Chain A
Amino acid sequence: MMTDGSASDRPVIDAQKVGLTFQTADGPVHALKDVNLRVLKGDFVSFIGPSGCGKTTFLRAVAALEHPTEGRLLVNGMTPEEARKRRAYGYVFQAAGLYPWRTIAGNIRLPLEIMGFSRPEQDRRVKDVLQLVELEGFGKKYPWQLSGGMQQRASIARALAFDADILLMDEPFGALDEIVRDRLNEALLKLWARTGKTIGFVTHSIPEAVYLSTRIVVMSPRPGRITDVIESPLPRERPLDIRDSAEFIAIAHRVRDGLRAGHSYDD
């Protein structure tokens, strides 16, 4: 395990006054400003907001793919760079990004090969995660033989294979149709319940954010900042029809209000 159990009350992600400014030809762009957030172990945190609000930038900063220019950002009590080197998280991108020259099993094996797992251990883990994302029997197929939804499930399996505690997902279902997205959301909640991972999830869909999350972080652009953090009162066990409940609608409403408030001055 990458983290020590003793610090279970320590936040998994701890952002204090985090700011990130890109220097561009048109002058500085404030992608993030004064972001304060604590994510605890086992949380399912969604980041929602219009494009340019910095939600993806924040997730990438957690993954040490971007570097904050201000404030302090800790992942598992370490700098993001250290956490990345210790392979503390699995990252799921918007596109599945499977290698066309590798089978599904081969793609899932990729991080395991890089991290130096033994061959029998690789095989065992590939089998386990394929089961977890309900893709048993597809290991020998090539990516192009699978639908978009199945490819994205394979990419989630790839992120889970090395058993990092944190799963960072950047609009993983953004390119999929609504029906597939519903099924994958349901499957993701089951997976989260089974594995107990801490999940950071970027989306621009209000129902998706409300359905999945224990906490919803509403963000707004120019400069990218947090405008509201909503603790979800919904139970952890969530059937799809919970979306018709009054509670669900109330949270969705609050998210929408938050988004509208952040947006008001710019159109």
Chain B
Amino acid sequence: MRSVGPVLAVIAVIVALWYAAAVGMNAAWVRDQAARAGTEVSFLQIVPQTMAQERPVLPAPHQVAKGLWDGVTGQAITSKRSLVYHGWITLSATLLGFGIGTGLGILLAVGIIHNRAMDQSVMPWAIASQTIPILAIAPMIIVVMNSIGVSGLLPKAVISAYLSFFPVVVGMVTGLRSPDAMQLDLLRTYNAGRGQTFWKLRLPASMPYLFASLKVGIAASLVGAIVGELPTGAVAGLGARLLQGSYYGQTIQIWAALFAAAFVAAALVGIVGAVQAAVLKRMGMAR
């Protein structure tokens, strides 16, 4: 593990810059307070005060770490103040949306490669769908689904799916088309049907592409679930936690929720990566 040194060095630099920025950005408030009280503060007095504010402009790393730690371990996991509780709400929507998006993406890709009309009609719509800002469409999905009596998990999952199907479609179309002319000719000499060509050649050949797409797709799903929580009246989920934090100026809470989301995303991508390694190894494609 020779890469540990450089990785730690980069983290150390980031943390150092972060502390420096925290001092710089939070110092104004300390000086204001001092001016109001009619006292003078020296730089050395300012520094510790910039790192212990309740609503800092930029919380110091250890404050965020403490907020994260309290949020995860300091509460019962059923508590509304627990990050585990909110994290699970978001994660469940993410996973459901990811499942729907992946399934839909694969189905569309299969349709696109087998049907000329779909090839020419679906792809432009899929691309157009991704050019619309998700923030604009998410509230409408929530409202429309609410009006037909669907609320809670599913509308958020739909927004997740909306974001995650696209990389899967693009990746799978590329993957299913990856066999070259010679491979396809070979199957023609066996007089193989379309179904056989699909199951024996196209699908296995697309696996590396699929997993590359899934890694993008699952991160997009998480973003979708969080965005989906913003217009739901801020009840539960990491998105709600972010929104509440911004209402009340709880910057530490915002950052803690952001980091919680980042860790969840990293874990999800890591899991997809592990599944990829296992599947490709089983297929004999890992060396």
Contacts and interface: CB of A to CB of B under 8 A. Distances in A.
A97 B183 contact: yes
Given A95-B182, A100-B284, A101-B284, A114 B187 contact: yes
Q: Give the most central of B185, B205, B207: most A CB within 10 Å.
A: B185
Nearest to A94: B182
B182 A99 contact: no
B188 interface: yes
30 contacts: A64-B188, A65-B188, A65-B189, A84-B189, A87-B190, A87-B191, A89-B189, A90-B189, A93-B182, A93-B185, A93-B186, A95-B182, A97-B182, A97-B183, A99-B201, A101-B205, A101-B207, A101-B283, A101-B284, A103-B284, A110-B190, A111-B190, A113-B200, A114-B187, A114-B190, A114-B191, A114-B192, A114-B196, A114-B200, A142-B284
Interface in A60-109: 63-65, 84-85, 87, 89-91, 93-95, 97, 99-103
A97 B205 CA distance: 12
Lowest 4 A-B CB distances belong to which pairs? A101-B283, A91-B189, A142-B284, A114-B192
B235 to A, nearest CB: 46
Interface in B6-62: none
Contacts of B287: 144
Interface of A: 63-65, 84-85, 87, 89-91, 93-95, 97, 99-103, 110-111, 113-115, 142, 144, 162
B285 A91 contact: no
B186 A97 contact: yes
B188 A84 contact: yes
Given A64-B188, A162-B190, 9 more contacts: A65-B185, A84-B191, A89-B189, A91-B185, A97-B186, A101-B204, A101-B283, A101-B285, A110-B190
A88 to B, nearest CB: 10
Contacts of A142: 284
Interface string B268-287: 00000000000000011101
Nearest to A155: B186
Contacts of B187: 114
A65 B181 CA distance: 11
A253 B200 CA distance: 46
A102 B207 CA distance: 14
Contacts of A89: 189
A248 B207 CA distance: 51
Nearest to B204: A101
Interface in B169-196: 182-183, 185-192, 196
Contacts of A162: 190
Contacts, number: 52
State the majority secondary structure of interface residues on B. Answer: helix
A186 to B, nearest CB: 26
A144 B283 CA distance: 13
Interface string B192-218: 100010001100110100000000000
A151 B185 CA distance: 18
Contacts of A103: 284
Contact of A85 (B185, B191, B196, B283): B191
A111 B200 CA distance: 10
Contacts of B204: 99, 101
Contacts of B191: 84-85, 87, 114-115
A95 B287 CA distance: 21
A99 B284 CA distance: 10
A97 B188 CA distance: 14
B204 to A, nearest CB: 5
Contacts of A113: 200
Contacts of A90: 189
B207 to A, nearest CB: 8
A34 to B, nearest CB: 26
Contacts of A93: 182, 185-186
Contacts of B189: 63, 65, 84, 89-91
A22 to B, nearest CB: 15
A65 B167 CA distance: 34
A211 to B, nearest CB: 26
A198 to B, nearest CB: 16
Contacts of B201: 99
B285 A110 contact: no
Given A103-B284, A114-B192, A91 B186 contact: yes
A115 B183 CA distance: 17
Contacts of A111: 190
Nearest to B282: A101
Given A65-B185, A85-B191, A114-B190, A102 B196 contact: no
A96 to B, nearest CB: 10
A102 B284 CA distance: 7
A76 to B, nearest CB: 15
B273 to A, nearest CB: 19
